[in-house]
Structure 1
């Protein structure tokens, strides 16, 4: 990563470079989940993608949605992606993926028929600057879209409310804009997009396939709760052990929510 992109990555402060290979693997696994694939199909349907449409993904990571996009636009269409982290871009299979800052997109105005992001705006901002950049590189009549989480509405099913609530609050507080999913439709309208549409995503996760990834996410925020000293450490660890036990027995459950939104430039 060059010095300028390292500065931007440090400014955004999301993921240490040494953690990027693990993150790339985790992102790929999540993208394979049926619910995630279904909501992205709905998003791409909403973007009115057609054969040979030029499409840009902002915050593309290791290029998760390229194969699905090809189903819409065909083998010769221009697909491009940018991400601030070289470690994620290096894992991408699309040649038109590069390291760049989403707040200063390196493309000519009106270059794309559609521009989208997925699970980006909850982590980084300023949100309005990112959306404005996306609009600048989209052709008139083209589409802007996003899929984003609504973390405050997530729910871990367990028998210890206070610790569960504390872990949930840590999850919410650890994101730049944790509820951008539900806020995004109004924001797109305020920024001048027309025909804004939103599709809710709600999935109750009980599948063991997803449990290891979800448990890793919970573990990271359990550590944040431990750092506060709000609860005895043994109580917090017992809570997490019970969650793991539920997962091993097939009784783990997490309800997570988000929103896919899109509109016309």
Structure 2
């Protein structure tokens, strides 16, 4: 994500967040102007410069990508998914989906297991599977900074280094990461990741958003963040393949319980991974 004037960036973040929360319905010009405090022409121009695509293209991408998540992780019918993400009918859904992914929604469902296998997500023995705690999380207001990055330790760490320049009050601040995109379906694109804190930064204004309330499957990762992908691999190759629960298309949340700022021991670091449930 390109950066420029801070006030412009906050307004773009507010617009981005508004579109994410309302992607499945028609968003009016007046609403975009109200949330961004810019004319429609100006927010379109600034949004495209900052995010690399128009607001309309971003909303359409959210529709089809969230639909793909539901194809992968729920048992809903394709017609139900089409309506839920904002398409008037299956025909318009199928057309948009094929334009974005090069295949129909029904083909995507048929390719689910090959897709998982291609990502080396194959069933594990029951005895070695990680099991989650099913929790309810109330809504949490956070202040955040976004980046479109490769989801790996180095790029996430670089974002956090920039984010922590805001100097948060460490006494009561809780830190979160929001993994907004599903890497499985975005092989050639950067994934959006938000570095979040429960209190505003002392230096510089940050935009705010709400981590949605709801049920989550909570898994624990212990030790360095560098190998958190190993824990994700165990989650996706184990419990997630045969659970009777269905997943929501909202982002995965990481809660950093023990991290380098509050423990000197790498072995004591703890990260909760929350997978949203329907």
Which category describes the TM-score, using the shorter chain as reference length? Answer: under 0.3
Return the TM-score normalized by structure 2.
0.24
